[in-house]
Amino acid sequence: MRQLPFAASRRLTGFLATLGLAFTLLPTPGMAQTTASSATPTSARANQPALLAPWAGGHGGVPAFDKVKVADFKPALEAAMAENLAEINAIANNPAAPTFENTIAAMERSGQTLTRVSAIYDIWSGTLNDAAFSAVETEMAPKLAAFSDQITQNAALFKRIEAVYNAPATKKLTPEQQRLVEVDYKQFVRAGAKLNATAKARVSAINQQLAGLFTNFSQNVLADEADSVLVLKTDKDLGGLPVSLRDAAKTTAGTRKIAAVGVITNTRSSIDPFLTYSDQRGLREKAWRMFTNRGDNGGAHDNNALITQILQLRAERAKLLGYATHAHLRLDNTMAKTPEAAMQLMEQVWKPAVAREHEEVADMLALAKKEGAPANFKIEPWDYRYYAEKVRKARYDLDQNEVKQYLQLDKMREGMFWVAGELFNFAFVPVTDVPVYHPDVKVWQVNDKTTGKQIGLWYFDPYARPGKNSGAWMNAYRNQERMDGKAVTTIVSNNSNFVKGTPGEPVLISWTDATTLFHEFGHALHGLSSNVTYPTLSGTNVVRDYVEFPSQLLENWLATPEVLNKFALHYQTGQPIPAALVARIDKASSFNEGFATTEFLASALIDMKLHLAGGQKIDPDKFERETLASLGMPSELVMRHRTPQFSHVFSSDGYSAGYYSYLWSVVLAADAFSAFTEAGGPYDKAVAARLRKNVFTVGNTVDPAAGYRAFRGRDPKIDALMKQRGFPMAEAKAGGKPGPGKPADVPPRMPVQHK
């Protein structure tokens, strides 16, 4: 998942990010090396926070994390916003006739101070969110939303943008410049630039209220994750757990100063392994309920009332902006184009996924009864992973814990670097000359293997800790650009929540975690590969249901023999993973896809249906329960992200009515990987070159559908996905011949997050 910035930035996409209305996906602040023209003289800044200073040092400048003080965020943000507004007003009130250079390019150059401050503010929000920072975030969220509106609702500024958009001279600009003009114009229109004064004021009020609600939602989930743990009191409570998980639980107990044999934290990285291996059914149920009830426990941290308000405000805003529902607003500028097209894809896959899930449950019940379970035994949600693992072992002679012994976190990271070298010609060199915001964070310089030229920096923050969002995601601290002849390199990060084990021992991760690691690294490579002029169009700043495509695609390289033979090494013997074990992994590759696909689709369908419901007052728990029942949701599992903790959808507008995009993107990814397998294999040089040229380097400078066709030679098909997941194609084609906008020929338009 690409992480959504919480604040606006100097880039147009950043201005709209708080609203979730930007054309590009998860627009991360892009940063230039030079200082923006400032309305505040340098001498007047002498006593202002270090956060306002241009980034100094090597590598084109880096964030001064060692000088950050939480108390400085508010004054720094306020000063940077004031400076940026002065720059915008200067552009809007320029007496010269509007041109690309004095309007569109000038906007690209503005707001550099705010961009730098916002980047660091977003890092603290996602990774170091303590009580002091939460107080600042609560106060600043509405102010940042109001700031964005002051730009998008600036009538004089929009008049100039519109003039450039309609000018005959614009057709003589470069294709990238024409694309930037179009993106800017349409973003302002979708944010309400053409509304009357009364409607603009109401939209702005809604945006500010939503910003506060989003912050409250996130803080409630974070509080439930931080405050709730499962304490393992006796050795019996450790029953079934592998050594690595026991060690991690013991370490966590020590870190949290809890007198117990172990502690399981309330995050997916801790809960999922516990549910998979613990033979204590009562404790599994406690762990499952603790995790699935985040934000849904009543009291101060309950999110249900917030969700009701968020949905009503979104519906009202969509109406003001001229859209039937929030879902129609959000999908207007995506590959899917309409909620109906996204729903069609999900419904195509839902029935075969549920049918497969029923088969999986039947297998589990048979095994459970064989082991002595009573005749009326029922697989409950807290049993699913436990019995699925037993079936996997019985059917494929595949024990996830056996696989895990070959998946060392550091070795998997080296494997990712090697893949990046083969496909993208990148080399990763560790550096220690840059400050970091936490001792766990490590940094690598990324170079072109052939020329040695620096491409950017990659920060890696792998471990869970209090105050850090759960899951996994990618951020860009600085976007690549080359405006005004100045080559600016990017700075990107990957963030995970692995649990530390015994000091000095390697951290062992599951196959699923390794897949997620490659997924997020795919986002990083997308950002690192960027080769465009304008930062608004740079890197991962592409439409919602396209941005997950490069990351979903990179997951496929984990299972290649080249990676497994070189980097899947036993943590004790150093021996590579045996070929027989790899064969069993491959044979079981579509195992449990019914569960995985159904839990994802349940979340995606609830997300879309919530936002297609319009302005009705919704009780989230009731809506979730009744909608899942109408869909025929299996009772043995729950949504991957239940509504009260669905941060993708309710901590910002980021993935709202857009969680389907993971499925849309994986259709592209499965089809794209087929291009490699149909050619010379996963490392085919010619296919990799086409992929880099048409997907990874171009950012949002070309229409994504056109870029995909240039790579693949045709529109994508759903066939590869259905084959990959072991689902029958007959179900997928039941809707008849696909037409424009339908997923089997994905048209002109599942983090993160984390998925």
Residues designated catalytic: 520
Question: How many Cα atoms are found within 13 Å in the side-chain-facing hemisphere of 576?
Answer: 11
Question: How many Cα atoms are found within 13 Å in the side-chain-facing hemisphere of 337?
Answer: 11
* CA dist., res. 511 & res. 496, Å (int): 15
Residue 261 is classified by DSSP as: S
Spatial contact of 239 and 278, defined as CB atoms under 8 Å apart: yes
**Residue type for position 299:** G
Spatial contact of 687 and 713, defined as CB atoms under 8 Å apart: no
Identify the CA nearest to 722 among candidates 738, 707, 711, 733. 733
What is residue 380's three-state secondary structure? coil
What is residue 454's three-state secondary structure? strand
The sign one gets for the Cα dihedral 595, 599, 604, 608 is positive
Residue 696 is classified by DSSP as: I
Longest Cα pair distance anywhere in the chain, in angstroms?
84
E strands in 343-433: 426-431
SS (H, E, C) 233-253: CCHHHHCCCCHHHHHHHHHHH
Bridge partners for 458 per DSSP: 444, 492
* CA dist., res. 141 & res. 156, Å (int): 26
Spatial contact of 472 and 461, defined as CB atoms under 8 Å apart: no
What interhelical angle do 281-292 and 268-277 show, nearest 10? 160
* CA dist., res. 514 & res. 512, Å (int): 5
Structure tokens at 171: 């057709």
The shares of helix, strand and coil residues in the chain, as percent rounded to the nearest 5, are 55, 5, 35
